[in-house]
Chain A
Amino acid sequence: MPANSAPALLIALGAALSIAIAGGSGSLAQPAGARAQADIQCSRTDMPREFDCVVTLSDRRTGEALGGVDLTIRLDMPSMPMAHNMRPVKATEARSGTYRARIRLDMLGDWALQLNLKGRVRDRVVKTLRFDESGAAPVDATRTAPGQHKH
């Protein structure tokens, strides 16, 4: 290819790019049906870096328990984005609206748990938890930034 045709090629590719994006998008978002409210409690187990999590799902508007949902949990670590590719964990329903899952983490620290609901209700809720030796607690807003020592 002669060198001087490059700008034209660039423009053509730019156009192709915008068509590719336009093709990948649908119409404006429709409001979904029932939205889920999720509460998650994780406690340590005898194994290091393994935690038992109990998820309770309820309808955000009516407050009734959401049973019969197909629940999977994806894990990611916000301080190391996309570095931990963990297999999604499937939760089992213990009683209506209460689900259990055992997760094994690559390391302790703050994790974002993406709860994917399928089946009766389709929704997605993200929870951030701090896991340490004693258990797990919600990451609170007043935390200090990582790596910053208090003086």
Chain B
Amino acid sequence: MVDFAQNTIDGVMIGASYGLLALGFTLIFGVMRRLNLSYGPVIMFGAYLGTLLHVQLGFGAVAVAVACVLGAALAGIYVERLCFAPMRPGAAIASMVSSFAIWMQLEQAVVLLLPRHTYPFPPLLGSGTSLELGPLVLRLDYAVMLVAALILMLAVHVLLYRSRFGLAIRSIIENPMAAGLVGVHVRAATLGAFALASAAGGFAGFLVLAVDQQITPMFGMWATFKGLIAMMIGGLGSVGGAVLGGLVLGIVEVHSQWHFGPQARDLIVFVLLFVCLVLRPGGMLGQAPERGLAMLRDRV
């Protein structure tokens, strides 16, 4: 019972960072209706800029976090300009493959920046210490990660639902043509949404890496797939769904790793994803599948 509670707590904390990754992903998908495979590598690019500051100049966590966010936003803008903005409508799959080509580019770029396989990443506030709540242990850096992720989610939510920029983004998600007709500058708002989503992803990446305290070039792929899985479990194009999907993913991962080990953990996650898709393609909180389908009508 104690183990169960402990695993659930750990899962929620890890899941919060997954939720943040999925949030950025779902924002891009909602605005673009296209899959951005280079989402993770974009985050990794920002993280490597931060690592460069940390390793070469000895900067601390705060400066690294800023570099992660700015670097990811910058790389995100590059991806949007090259893979999404110049594509004709109806060329969704070309955008996807193009973003994959940029993935390869970014992966090579970070290896050129820092050629070794593993680099240290600055730890979060309070790493190494833990709170004891009766039989339960609460790692302080996990708690910081959870709080930071929640604050950022709230900030994104406020931005989306309480600002003109958010209104523009939501109207584009609803219907880009109609949004353009009523005076939304669709291209600019799309670019803004892209940068915002990449920046949110960059922050999520910073949190995950700061808890791990190390970074490798595999991180890009890891971030893309964790974000993608959490987004699909929770439901496409919904902020709440992304958060819920992230939490479910985190909790399931921690529990299955505890009971069956890392390989079975991945197996269970993919079985869960498959079952979710087949039984409820719209995701737990997503719209009805028909709506998602309409989004994908111009797919190939």
Contacts and interface: CB of A to CB of B under 8 A. Distances in A.
A132 B117 contact: yes
Contacts of B120: none
B117 A149 contact: no
Given A107-B111, A151-B14, A145 B117 contact: no
A147 interface: yes
Interface of A: 48, 107-109, 132-133, 144-151
B222 A148 contact: yes
Interface of B is mostly: helix
Given A151-B14, A151-B211, 6 more contacts: A133-B116, A145-B262, A146-B218, A147-B219, A147-B222, A151-B10
B266 A148 contact: yes
19 contacts: A48-B115, A107-B111, A108-B117, A109-B117, A133-B116, A144-B262, A145-B262, A146-B218, A147-B221, A147-B225, A148-B222, A148-B262, A149-B208, A149-B212, A149-B219, A150-B212, A151-B10, A151-B212, A151-B257
Interface residues of B, number: 19
B129 interface: no
Most chain-A CB neighbours within 10 Å: which of B14, B212, B218, B225? B218
B128 to A, nearest CB: 15
Contacts of B56: none
Nearest to B253: A151
Interface in B254-289: 254, 257, 262-263, 266
Contacts of A151: 10, 14, 211-212, 254, 257
B263 A145 contact: yes
Contact of A133 (B117, B219, B257, B266): B117
A133 B211 CA distance: 24
A107 B110 CA distance: 13
Contacts of A147: 218-219, 221-222, 225
A132 B10 CA distance: 32
Contacts of B266: 145, 148
A133 to B, nearest CB: 5
Interface in B94-136: 111, 115-117
B223 to A, nearest CB: 9
A145 B222 CA distance: 11
Closest 5 CB pairs between A and B? A147-B218, A147-B222, A147-B221, A132-B117, A149-B212
